[in-house]
Structure 1
């Protein structure tokens, strides 16, 4: 097992974690500020991917498609918040789950009606199509490094937004005591719409970025949504810092587990049984990590209320 291969897998895990952070950051903001369980968050991921693929195909520019993904996901989030979610804030979580699950079905069928059942494909922009040299002689895709860089910039931007701006102050206050800031004259409805649109735009950005690495298809957001919920549970609900740490932890754990565990079990059980057992355990590894963390930190690693 070479050093270059290990570094490559570490970078793959980091890139996967950054993508999960873009999903989980919006999800944890929405849950932390609004107390809303939004199962339709994965649909914004799908909308961003389809918008980017369609616009990039029509214009020939990945970057215009990327901007379209942000706009489309934010617009969809605004529409959903105003038309549906606004009626659910005072309802219990079961009503929220049922309503947002219905939104998953609506968005999936609407996307299938617009684009058909066949997947779309998004090309990596030429400027990011190359590779960079790694220690040991291997090469790593430049586009994946760009995703990591974008994730870091988003994390820094969110930190600045939440901790240093007036809007961030209102978001933090809304998370702590929404009745008080409403009494002080803050338009809580507009604040909720802005937070929801921001979360949807981040999910759309994640979908657009990953769309160049895999096919863009209906239902692509639901598997990622499950992992995003794992991330915010591990990191702490409502915490951007927790979302970042949890996402990187999940990304590295999943990637390195799928890479190392089959090799490890092969040593003891032989090639066939070792590969099967290692792959099965690797698929459960992030949930085992989540259970262990919650056993010692029931509110997650960095709860917003800590």
Structure 2
């Protein structure tokens, strides 16, 4: 099945992507910058993952963290000096882009925290089979559609940065509600209620990210701005979730039963995910200018 998908994608590229026209000058690919940022981010993620297992003062953790910092600093230096940067640093003078990236980072961390910890809670604490656990995520998926439908209209009424704040706070409230999941299965108070807030906030927030991230960016840089925004989302999901798992693991302590200990850790991960999302929402409101508009 995977091979068939790859073959279909290759065929679509071959048919749909136009051939390179003669005489058109292509910009050089910044290979060194791509290598530095990829390895730097990889080292940073490894530092978070290693820290949760070996300890934050372990030599392996400190080595990965130091390597990540050095490589990312080198990436910034290379991007400043090269004629063809893969990520022009001038983009970060655009406040709406910076605010959208900060919000996207924390929003992705909150989204993955909801999926990851809720899935584990439903199966390992409530003892529900995986297939039924998947069905219980349907309310979340439905409410995401509601959030998307609301977001654009809300931004047109109250402004982009205020809409980001509202959706972020609503999503954080949903994650906070999830952190209070009862020990026994409760469909309405444990699933539907928190899913309504979390999905409307997170779904609407993702809807607004694209517009906020490209607001104030010249058309020539729109593609790069979208790529930077997508990268911040991926990093938020990777680093944010790794950090929340570390928090959940550290919080899981002695309890009456192993199940109670797991529940304690999962609730902590969801609670801190709510805090991160709220921080991202407030930061976006502070950074994104009032002039940013929803396209």
Name the structure, 1 or 2, with higher relative contact order (CA <8 Å, separation 6+): 1
TM-score, normalising length: structure 1: 0.29
**Larger radius of gyration, structure 1 or 2?**
2
TM-score, normalising length: structure 2: 0.30
